[in-house]
Amino acid sequence: MNKVIEKASQILLLLVMIILAIFVLSPIILAVLNSFKTNGEIYTNILSLPETWQFENYVKAFTKTNYMKSLTNTIFLVSLSLFGIIFVSSLAGYKLARTKSRLSSVIFFVFIISMLIPFHSIMIGLVDVANKLNVQGPLWGLALIYTGIGAPMAIFLYHGFTKNIPLEIEEAALIDGCNSFQLFTKIVFPMLKPITATIVILNALWIWNDFLLPLLMISDKENYTLLLSTKMLFGQYNSDWSKILALLVLALLPVILVYIFMQKYIVKGVSDGAIK
């Protein structure tokens, strides 16, 4: 009897998980299906299958928005932002974790508090400051802003993960003749690989899929990111939704593939860095 109940519970749990998976994936499924429709079909019935599969939607979206240029811009922006976040946060998180003082605790507390500030509350001030510092417009300026916004969470994770590294390893390295720079680059940072992978994935997904900040900071079409290039398909009185959805699918494919292959690092890194 117990085995029957256990089997029934497993089947019920599986059904619930399937339903939840379909619910979560439904926006992506609808986006893919409607990217093969005409605008008329989308307006008529968004839930139906395409009457005729319009593969040229992808071709037109690819050419009209200069997809390769936007893809290159996005890759450059994500790479530069990740370098800045990892460089600043790994050093800060390690130093704050190893420095036992009141000042260190206060600085770490300030970083944690900044994570609670909603972006929309600082949005206008951020644009004004970026304009005065002449960093509004170029991709490197946007990467600098992403570094500042993404650093607090990364510092929090590095700080927690560093506490799990035995001090004896660092002391042995110092006895062997390592200076502070060699200690961090050759001994400590390689041991931060799991949490670094987590930070890379989380921030890469965020920066790649962000639309608001590039919209506020970039005006030159030559610097458009993939999602920002959808602006080219919006008209004043009409929008080409079939091409917009096709471009969104093209924009999501690279990051989805990266996430599929690296998702195992997310849970491991977050649990190691924040819980242990």
Pairwise CA distance, residues 179 & 182, whole Å: 5
All domains in the chain, ordered by first residue: 63-275 (1.10.3720.10)
Taking the C-alpha atoms of 135, 137, 142 and 145 in order, what is their torsion angle to the nearest 10 degrees? 40
- Tokens for 127? 């644009």
Pairwise CA distance, residues 194 & 72, whole Å: 27
Report the alpha-carbon distance of residue 248 to residue 234 in Å, rounded: 13
Q: Which residues contact 63 (CB under 8 A, 6 or more apart)?
A: none
Give 94-150 pLDDT, tens digit per residue.
888 888 888 888 988 888 888 888 888 888 888 888 888 888 888 898 999 999 999
pLDDT digits (tens, 9 = 90+) for 48-75: 888 888 888 888 888 888 888 888 999 9
Q: Count Cβ neighbours within 10 Å for each residue of 166-198 and write b for 16 or more, e otherwise.
A: eeeebeebeeeebeeeebbeebbbebbebbbbb
Residue-wise pLDDT tens digits, 212-263: 889 888 888 888 888 888 877 776 556 778 888 888 888 888 877 777 776 6
